[in-house]
Chains A and B, each alone.
Chain A
Amino acid sequence: MRAWPAEGATRVPYWVYQDAEIYEREQSRIWRGKTWNYLCLEAELPEPQSFITTFVGDMPVVVSRGPDNVLHAFENRCAHRGALICMQPRGKTERFACIYHNWTYDHAGNLTNVAFRRGIAGKGGMAADAKPESEAPRKFRVAALNGLVFGTLSPDVPELEDYIGPEVLPRLKRVLKKPLKVLGAYTQVLPCNWKLYMDNVKDSYHASLLHLFFTRFRINRLTQAGGVLVSADGAHHCAYTRLVEDRGDAYEKDGMRSAGSSAFRLEAPEILEQVDELQDAVSIQIASLFPGFVLQQIRNSLAARQVVPKGVERTELHWTLFGFADDDDAMTRRRLLQSNLVGPAGYISMEDGVATDFVRRGVLGAPERAAVIEMGGSAVASSESRITETAVRGLWKAWRAHMDL
């Protein structure tokens, strides 16, 4: 295993995004290790016997609601030969049956029947002392948090709310204040290592410099009030901006590419009109949980983003946009209009796939060189300024602890 640079928290060596051995170690130590992973919204399992299929790292997973309303998640791998137990993305079923040899499972992932286990007419079948359940699909501990469903394979990781901690937990709850309603979903494929996306999410410094739409229209500039909160272990973060119109000209004085122009105005500005539905005057909040979950509030556009690694240099970002179950037609229309801001065609998120790909391509010849993460010093701590990389350092602090590197 390679060694971390001597500078510590302010350097991230590029081999972390490139090594196949690191990717494999992450699967066991992070995704299948002592972490809580986002699985779905509770609203995606609306009634008893509903299910969805998803991933935790590389591992395929079934998430279901039992006939008794209890949430379950289990590995989507048949105890017999390892085939997928469930191939549909979502639905409702009385039981799960592997298509290969029709071994069946209940909603908790218990093996309930082995086809022809006793053979036919006394011939064939398994021996009486056979243990077909010895390779049963692994079961997750499942916890719901205000409409979000998480799972962990670890018996040791603390309860979900303790895992998230007091810095970030209230920031999730402020968004998830009512029952949720799914508006739709799509996948953005990012041609880079999953951690390049998470660095990007935690990097409050880049937002107004890369995403020019923000600054051109003076939506989010670092001159506006806001802050960054980081959990004690560095793993989770939240960055937010208050709803104020910026009348300053810091960008213009610095001659930045992202400076605004009085000649540049939207002809149809209603896509930006926010109703302060959470009643705390926050216009943008991005919160992330280690390893791969992001909760977004951009004006009235709310979304869960799930990071699914698909190899060393490929990541899928599963977006699920939602509103509240009691939204009226005007609010639904507002959310759909504002969905223009996010997703693969989003005015302010389309560039994230580009920037992370540029890093991937830029560092191909430099595995032993490192990124410089010194904005805001070297500490991992909450900050009133967003001109900081404190949450990025937090990601690496947590990652190194999990990876023992």
Chain B
Amino acid sequence: MKVELQRKIEDLHARYAHALDDDRLEEWPGFFTENGVYRIATAENEARGLPLPVLYCDSRAMMRDRVQSLRHANIYEPQRYRHMVSSVLVEKLDDQHVKSTSNFLVIRIMQDGGTTVFASGKYLDRILLTPEPQYEERVVICDSRRFDTLLAIPL
């Protein structure tokens, strides 16, 4: 059972990463529950007990707005991410919920081929298991307070 649960959660994280890396942004809100929370924060603000997010959504509707704005309003050079997700810890909270902690590294590839490490950090997730695993909360803690040029595509 424990192995099965671990596999399920790693599968969720992997499908999430591939959707973003393959530019299937429209699928991104679907990884969350209807009132799911997505918050990008920095390790520094967290350590100082400061609430400021870099990006914050607390519903799928807000996530769809973000995607719509990226597609139709915001101007940025074409770019792709490659997510590396590792060291996935899973802890069962109750029959319906698990907590997961994992590491990420996001490499950003610009249209001219310029490739850089864009962000590293950890995901702190609360996941609802049924009917299909979905994030009730996904907090992205970036190791650095510094962001190069802009953060358009979600991490």
Contacts and interface: CB of A to CB of B under 8 A. Distances in A.
A330 to B, nearest CB: 14
B52 A336 contact: yes
B130 interface: no
B53 interface: yes
B61 A184 contact: no
Interface string B68-107: 1100111111000000000000000000000000000000
A226 B83 CA distance: 44
Contacts of A316: 146
A344 B65 contact: no
B62 A189 contact: no
B42 interface: yes
B51 to A, nearest CB: 6
Contacts of A267: 61-62, 64-65
A318 to B, nearest CB: 9
A343 B42 CA distance: 13
A186 B77 contact: no
B46 to A, nearest CB: 9
Nearest to A210: B75
B51 A332 contact: yes
A354 interface: yes
Given A271-B62, A347-B69, A187 B147 contact: yes
A186 B61 contact: no
A350 interface: yes
B146 A187 contact: yes
Given A183-B51, A184-B50, A186-B45, A212 B73 contact: yes
A350 B146 contact: no
A52 B155 CA distance: 30
B54 interface: yes
A268 B34 CA distance: 13
B145 A345 contact: no
A337 B75 contact: no
A191 B110 CA distance: 14
B52 A213 contact: no
B51 A184 contact: yes
Interface in B19-49: 40, 42, 44-45, 48
A350 B55 contact: no
Contacts of A200: none
B44 to A, nearest CB: 7
B56 A354 contact: no
A117 to B, nearest CB: 38
Interface string A325-367: 0000000100011011001110100110111010000000000
Given A183-B52, A186-B54, A336-B53, A212 B74 contact: yes
Contact of A216 (B54, B62, B73): B73
Contacts of A213: 69, 73-74
A184 B52 CA distance: 5
A350 B54 contact: no
Given A184-B45, A189-B146, A267-B65, A351 B74 contact: yes
A350 B52 contact: no
A182 interface: yes
Contacts of B56: 336-337, 339-340
Contacts of B129: none
Contacts of B52: 183-186, 321, 336, 339
A316 B146 CA distance: 9
A268 B50 contact: no
B1 interface: no
B132 interface: no
B14 interface: no
A345 B65 contact: no
Contacts of B4: none
Contacts of A264: 68, 72
Contacts of A188: 146-147, 149-150
Given A187-B147, A188-B150, A350-B151, A182 B54 contact: no
Given A185-B44, A268-B62, A332-B51, A350 B150 contact: yes
A355 B74 CA distance: 12
Given A182-B50, A184-B50, A344 B59 contact: no
Interface of A: 89, 182-191, 210, 212-213, 216, 264, 266-268, 271, 316, 321, 332, 336-337, 339-340, 343-345, 347, 350-351, 353-355, 357
29 contacts: A185-B44, A185-B45, A185-B52, A185-B145, A186-B45, A187-B145, A187-B147, A188-B150, A191-B148, A191-B149, A212-B73, A216-B73, A267-B61, A267-B64, A267-B65, A271-B65, A316-B146, A336-B51, A339-B53, A339-B56, A343-B54, A345-B147, A345-B150, A345-B151, A350-B74, A350-B152, A351-B76, A351-B150, A353-B150
Q: Which 9 A-B pairs have the closest CB atoms?
A: A184-B52, A344-B147, A184-B50, A267-B61, A350-B150, A345-B151, A353-B149, A212-B73, A184-B45
